[in-house]
Structure 1
Amino acid sequence: MRQPDGYHLAELNIARLVAPVDDPRVAEFMDALDRVNGIAERSPGFVWRLTGDGDNATDVPIAAEDPQLIPNLSVWSEVPAFEHFVWNTLHRKFYERRAEWFEVLDKMHFVMWWVPAGTVPSLSDAMERLTHLNTHGDSDYAFGWSHLKDAQLWRSHNCAQIAAE
């Protein structure tokens, strides 16, 4: 699928930390969030990201009963810009080490979809897109990397579904 005119790419990635955010087992990840988020915000094509009180989304609840389940929700102007950030910046180093900080989830934890330019998606809409992807598979409504014709870098980086970013 190609990006429709007048639309941006939204993405949601959820993850379950192996320990609470203040636990030493996830300290290296937590300490790097500001740096990685700063790289995202300075990257060409970055539009918006979900933040909470700590300027990241780790304190934005997905499920009250599971505070270790954290979201990463952002909007990018185009697929190549998002793909560049994911695979060609410091983000990649942390992605490659994700098994150190995150549990393996039993369902797909990453989804993308198109939003009209200027739209900021809600976390509830993003979660609904993820549910749709898990229920129905890739579609124009909710999709993964393989659904995007413009996405190439993920193919060469062996995007195995070990754990969330």
Structure 2
Amino acid sequence: MTSHEPVPQAYQLAQINIALMKAPLHDPIMAEFASGLDQVNAIADQSPGFVWRLKDEGGNATRIRAFADERILVNLSVWSSLESLKTYVYQSLHGEFFVRRHNWFEKYQEAHFAMWWIPAGHIPSIEEAGEKLDHLQQHGDSEIAFTFAKPYPSPLESYYPAS
């Protein structure tokens, strides 16, 4: 490998976000959210740094029930970096939906969003993601699971800090 070739990425960022719907997706309360979901997902799929997202045969994860409460929607994805995820979350159409989330979702009382570093190429399971949420709920931000408020560097960045 010459110095001009990119260094292979050793770690990627996984994230889980769960939300408690105010009503079933077919309810008029959820209509604006449901009608914008395909567009928001398409933007994610085309965003720089996007790697993978959980989806069913319909192209989204709204039919996947990963938690006991049927009203909980799950979003699980992988990104090349914290910066790429943050740009998508706050500076795309997703950000517009994010600021209006109270229209469609109840305030969740426990951890509902977590990020963690995974080896490049690993696809996280819903069980793994649920464990990260539980860990965050019990212990707060750490290198095991964290939030945008207190992000942790990838293991490689921790080992080789930028100078």
TM-score (norm 1): 0.84
Between Structure 1 and Structure 2, how many residues are aligned?
145
Q: Which residue of 1 aligns with 2:56?
A: 52
Tell me how large the CA RMSD over aligned residues is.
Answer: 1.3
The counterpart of 2:27, out of the listed 23, 29, 34, is: 23
Query: What pairs with 1:1-165 in structure 2 (closer than 5 Å)?
Result: 6-63=10-67, 65-148=68-151
Whether the 8 Å contact between 1:60 and 1:70 is mirrored in structure 2 is yes
Unmatched tracts of structure 1, length 5 or more? 151-165
Higher relative contact order (CA 8 A, sep 6+): 1
- The one-letter code sitting in structure 2 at the alignment partner of 1:115 is I
- Cα displacement (A) at 1:53: 3.0
TM-score by length of 2: 0.85
| Residue 68 of structure 1, CA deviation | 1.2
Query: Which ranges in structure 2 are unaligned for 5 or more consecutive residues?
Result: 1-8, 154-163
* Runs of 4 or more above 3 Å deviation: none
**2:147, 2:86 → 1: CA distance?**
12
CA distance in 2, matches of 1:52, 1:94: 21
**SS class of match (1:30):** helix
Give 3-state SS (helix, strand or coil) of 2:69's partner. coil
